[in-house]
Structure 1
Amino acid sequence: MKAKFLTVITLGLLLVACSEDSKPTAAETTDNGSSTEDSSAEPVDYSKGRAMNKRLGKGINLGNAWDGASYYTCGTLKDDLDAEKTDSYVPLVPADSSYLNNMPSKQYNYGCADRLDSSWNNPIKDEYFQLVKSVGFNSVRIPVRWQHNSNPETHEVNPARLNGVMDDIKLAIDAGLAVVVSFHWYHEIMYAGNHATTNPDYYAKEKQHFAAIWSQVAAKAEALNFPDSMLVWDILNEPTFVNTDILNDVMMTGYDAIRAAAPGKTIMFEAHHAAKFGDLGALKLPKDGNIIFSGHYYEPYTYSHQGHGYACKGDDAYANTAKTDMKNYVALAKKLYPDVNGGNIPMNMGEFSVTSQYGGCGKQGPSDKMRAKWAQTTIEAAEMYDVSWHYWALAGVGGFEAYDKQNNTWYPGFPMAFGL
């Protein structure tokens, strides 16, 4: 049983879907970076990745826990710049407030309080794993802000964070659940990558930190003998690099570090514009049959993200084009990355969800009945093409959750919408 550190601080504004970054910025929408010209159509034997993807099957995220942040204990870089401090560790290039608002004043928040998986007052309860297994899920996805409280000089991952996540992996595996562990909210490397031209040294140092973290995490899991058949490493959640070359450089940096430490583990890749399925062409994937491509799906955002940047129209905004979308995504994957046995690279829908009337719109948000319908329709479309999936999320994610942790019950329409 790992230690849990509770906080009484209310952070409702933080408890939103992980896909908050998935709305493309103006800079990103000018060029999606997708190209089939550089992607090899040479077939690869994806039997290992396909077997792992089948094992993942029906899954759910345990979000806003290990991916939470304790920045309020030290402040943010934006706070420093607003106060005209000049000793910031980030080069004073043109400010990207979307990143600086989410980066701590002290590098990686090192030396400040680390509330581990309780920073957003939504710790992963040990009993969640049995709950998830009991209703029929095959796997869980655990988002982790690995750089949080890591050492900028030695690159050491915070030991309590590392051990705590490993405890949760063990709890999941002991419950019979496969696990995807994803590197979330690495704003520092996004910022560095988008300023690689003006400050290449900073970008190089951030890549070094990224690789060192993955080497430690993967090696720790190997030392604990977690079976290859039960654990997947997701390199980087929802990349927002404007430049396609930087996207691939960062992804391959993570891939190389993981593969060196964990030769038998399945590795997951995400693409441009915060993991859009349609941006698979932006990636240059290695000829490794033990990989999975993961996309996130919240289409249309005018329905799924009401109150999170979109108007509150409730069920009047309902729409679902998943059947057509999935067909197109799979056709693209087959064209770019065919399997020697037919088909295409294994595909996973790592996040998908709709906010509710309990979220940012209050009673004006989508009803449980219709968001359950949206989830069921999306799942049916994914499963038609053997796409594994992880719903966002179980509990405590600002209205996107399927489970009411306060009353220990599923919201109306769930978990039936999952086909369980």
Structure 2
Amino acid sequence: MKKSLLFLFAISAIVSISTSLIACDSSTPPAAAVSDPGDNNTGRKVVPVDYSKGRAMNARLGKGINLGNSWDGDNRNCLDDCWSNPIEDGDFKIIKEAGFNSIRLPVRWQRNSNYETHTVDPEILAGVKEDVTLAINEGLVVLLDFHHYVELNSFGGGAHRGKSDTIALFQAEKEHFVRLWSQIATEFNAFPDSMIAFDILNEPTIPNKDLVNDVLLSAYEAIRAAAPGKTIMFESFLAAKFAELAILKLPADGNIIYSGHYYEPYTFSHQGHGYDCKGDAAYANKAASDFMGFAKLGMQLYPDVSGTDFIPMNVGEFGIAGQTNWSCGKDAPSDEAKARWAKETVAAAQKYNMSFHYWGFTYVGGFEAYDRKGKAWYPGFPNALIQ
């Protein structure tokens, strides 16, 4: 869900992109807890895997925050300031001193990339490397994310539906995506395995689960070939819904993490972004029961050889709008309610050893936790996240 673009889609529809800088949103609610592996109808054989490497990185990621609406911008004539939210060198120190362990760095890698050589823009590459270096120098682990690949998601979800070039367009974008990842993984493999991980594709909205698996596994293979020791993160379809773990066919690789995004209920978290402004009257939080279901699903489908653990999980995005008058103004949720929702969600994640990355740091359409102009955290933050 995120940040700068609001994704509202149906499974069979093309992804529609809003031009406002808000969180990506799918209105599909998470599934209830699954009581038996057979309920998933996956027809797969469950094989325990030693996830100790993935768990170790997940613990290092720990408490994190997104630096969104910066490198994930869509204007061709800018770097990390497309949405007037450039990352400042001092941000990493602020984040570290607040008590966070990591950052998630969303990057629209296909922007200004070369489709003939399948290489990323040299200026973007250099700038992201600089930020990764600054973060690591502050002791922050970096989760490097491929963000807003609108073209890939669109062609895989029905753009040009009925036209003869639809499949060709999708395959061309898929090849570009995979080969870009090969370069990115090679370039960033120079950083320590303990300090950087790769998030394959933010919020896949391709409605076909076979295509989602094909895209993710193809990129995974390219990343693993270029960076054999790095942790690799997978997100599922319907814009990274936790409960869609069952549709993925994850490799028997112990150095992977599964990530879901959590903004439920949207009637509270996304007020002013497609939902009515009802303030605290819309408050609800079912993270405790929802996350119990996600953990149970992980145990059923991807158990660890230990018999007590399962595939490591990460909450890649979660947050509440209303920190500014950008959306609902005086009818936005109160400071107390926003902090309480964040605190309850973090508590649920930590109960199941999930790492997390709050959406977001500054200027993310009202979801921000830090007031850049006032040079201070908004009321209730970061304490709601650092428990």
Indicate whether the TM-score tops 0.5.
yes
Distance 2:44 2:178 in 1: 24
Where 2:80 maps in the other structure, the secondary structure is: helix
1:94-133 alignment runs, 5 A limit: 113-133=76-96
Distance 1:371 1:138 in 2: 22
Question: What is the deviation of 1:36?
Answer: 4.3
Q: Identify the match of residue 148 of structure 2 among 170, 185, 192.
A: 185
2:227 maps to: 262
Distance 1:337 1:356 in 2: 37
2:27 aligned partner, one-letter code: K
Distance 2:49 2:218 in 1: 21
1:251 maps to: 216
1:32-181 alignment runs, 5 A limit: 35-70=40-75, 113-181=76-144
1:273-352 alignment runs, 5 A limit: 273-341=238-306, 342-352=308-318
Question: What is the deviation of 1:217?
Answer: 0.7
2:344 aligned partner, one-letter code: T
Distance 2:73 2:195 in 1: 25
1:346 aligned partner, one-letter code: P
Distance 2:102 2:357 in 1: 8
Q: Is residue 356–residue 399 contact of structure 1 (8 Å, CA) maintained in 2? A: yes
- Cα deviation 1:138-167 (Å, max 9, x = unaligned): 000000000001112222210000111111
1:104 maps to: none
- Cα deviation 1:212-237 (Å, max 9, x = unaligned): 11011111112xx2000111100000
1:363 maps to: 330
- Cα deviation 1:217-261 (Å, max 9, x = unaligned): 111112xx2000111100000011111101101111111111111
Q: Is residue 232–residue 266 contact of structure 1 (8 Å, CA) maintained in 2? A: yes
Where 2:100 maps in the other structure, the secondary structure is: coil
Provide the identity percentage: 55
2:33 maps to: none
Runs of 4+ in 1 over 3 A off after TM superposition: 195-198
Q: Is 1:353 the counterpart of 2:319 in the alignment?
A: yes
Q: Is residue 350–residue 390 contact of structure 1 (8 Å, CA) maintained in 2? A: yes
Distance 2:43 2:107 in 1: 32
Q: Is residue 64–residue 397 contact of structure 1 (8 Å, CA) maintained in 2? A: yes
- Could you tell me which runs of 5 or more consecutive residues in structure 2 were left unpaired when the two chains were aligned: 1-17, 30-38
1:175 aligned partner, one-letter code: E
- Cα deviation 1:315-363 (Å, max 9, x = unaligned): 1000000000010000001000000012110000000001015231122
Q: Which structure shows the higher helix fraction?
A: 1
Q: Is residue 295–residue 349 contact of structure 1 (8 Å, CA) maintained in 2? A: yes
When the two chains are superposed, the root-mean-square deviation of aligned CA atoms in Å is 1.7
Distance 2:104 2:285 in 1: 24
Question: What is the deviation of 1:419?
Answer: 2.6
Distance 1:243 1:353 in 2: 27
Distance 1:321 1:241 in 2: 27
Aligned length: 355
Where 2:271 maps in the other structure, the secondary structure is: coil
Q: Is residue 323–residue 369 contact of structure 2 (8 Å, CA) maintained in 1? A: no
Where 1:242 maps in the other structure, the secondary structure is: coil
2:236 aligned partner, one-letter code: A
Question: What is the deviation of 1:35?
Answer: 4.0
1:227 maps to: 192
TM-score by length of 1: 0.82
- Could you tell me which runs of 5 or more consecutive residues in structure 1 were left unpaired when the two chains were aligned: 1-11, 26-33, 71-112
Q: Is residue 323–residue 378 contact of structure 2 (8 Å, CA) maintained in 1? A: no
Q: Is residue 39–residue 281 contact of structure 1 (8 Å, CA) maintained in 2? A: no
Q: Is residue 323–residue 368 contact of structure 2 (8 Å, CA) maintained in 1? A: no
1:67–1:160 distance in 2 versus 1, CA, 3 Å: same
Where 2:260 maps in the other structure, the secondary structure is: strand
